[in-house]
């Protein structure tokens, strides 16, 4: 697992953790063969992500936002920890996550996205990609506010004939909870893919495997 530090000026991989599957963590023979230290215990990927984020904050890196895929966005403990640290986030989530709607019912986020009228969407570029501008339709659904922070749902819709939706939980200072800002944070997550490509080309990341601790 890697942590990527990203801004409009560039990006770099700044930390990493080895993920040890729970089955492996309980297998003494396998641990011995891979030289896994005794102190290493099983930890979920969101727990490892929290450790890396905490380290980079302790190192003094200025950081206002966290972006990640749905493995992390679906984890309520990680989200709550980020909120306690007063960090904004835009985290991808699975389509079966539920959000409280104005009628007080819990609805799946994919059903919410499909029910929105065309007027709810705004076509905006998520930044330059390998094949030009990444154009999508976006919409923002504000949830509850607390202590100057807003929670809600950000949805991205592809512009194909049969569009696909991607949903994100967001937590942002109310004064900055604007579509353009949140969309830009969501787009920064592609920086880690670009960092992987650079690492593969420049230092052979795709030609070695971590076989020992």
Residue 191's domain is classified under what CATH number?
Answer: 3.90.350.10
Give yes or no for residue 12 having a pLDDT over 70: yes
Query: Domain tally for the chain?
Result: 1
In a domain, 138, yes or no: yes
User: Given strand 88-93, what is the order of strands in its sheet?
Assistant: 65-68, 88-93, 165-173, 149-157, 132-146, 122-129
In a domain, 169, yes or no: yes
Burial degree of 127 (CB within 10 A; 0-12, 13-18, 19+): middle
Q: What integer pLDDT is reported at residue 200 of this predicted model?
A: 85
In a domain, 180, yes or no: yes
pLDDT in tens, 100-150: 766 667 889 999 999 999 899 999 876 666 677 778 999 999 988 899 999
Helix H or strand E encompassing 112: helix 109-115
In a domain, 57, yes or no: no
Q: In whole angstroms, give the CA distance from residue 186 to residue 169.
A: 10
In a domain, 182, yes or no: yes
Q: What integer pLDDT is reported at residue 167 of this predicted model?
A: 96
Q: What integer pLDDT is reported at residue 138 of this predicted model?
A: 95
Q: In whole angstroms, give the CA distance from residue 185 to residue 90.
A: 7
50: pLDDT confidence band, cut at 50, 70 and 90? very high
In a domain, 38, yes or no: no
pLDDT in tens, 137-172: 999 999 888 999 999 999 999 988 888 999 999 999
Question: How far, rounded to the nearest angstrom, does the alpha carbon of residue 62 sit from its chain's CA centroid?
Answer: 18
Q: In whole angstroms, give the CA distance from residue 9 to residue 62.
A: 14
In a domain, 24, yes or no: no
Q: What integer pLDDT is reported at residue 182 of this predicted model?
A: 95
In a domain, 46, yes or no: no
- The whole domain housing 78 covers 64-207
pTM to 2 decimal places = 0.89
């Amino acid at each position: 697992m890697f942590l990527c530090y990203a801004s409009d000026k560039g990006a770099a991989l700044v930390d990493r953790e080895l993920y040890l599957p729970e089955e492996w963590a309980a297998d003494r023979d396998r641990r011995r063969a891979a030289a896994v230290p005794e102190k290493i215990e099983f930890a979920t990927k969101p727990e490892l992500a929290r450790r890396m984020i905490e380290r980079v904050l302790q190192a003094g890196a200025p950081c206002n936002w966290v972006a990640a895929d749905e493995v992390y966005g679906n984890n309520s403990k990680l989200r709550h920890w980020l909120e306690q640290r007063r960090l904004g986030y835009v985290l991808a989530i699975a389509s079966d996550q539920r959000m409280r709607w104005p009628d007080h019912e819990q609805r799946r986020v994919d059903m919410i996205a499909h029910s929105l009228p065309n007027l709810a969407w705004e076509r905006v570029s998520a930044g330059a990609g390998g094949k030009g501008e990444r154009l999508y339709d976006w919409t923002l659904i504000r949830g509850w506010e607390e202590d100057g922070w807003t929670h809600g749902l950000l949805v991205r819709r592809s512009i194909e004939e049969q569009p696909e939706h991607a949903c994100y939980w967001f937590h942002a200072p109310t004064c900055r909870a604007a579509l353009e800002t949140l969309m830009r944070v969501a787009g920064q997550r592609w920086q880690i893919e670009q960092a992987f490509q650079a690492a593969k080309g420049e230092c052979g990341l795709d030609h070695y495997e971590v076989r020992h601790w």
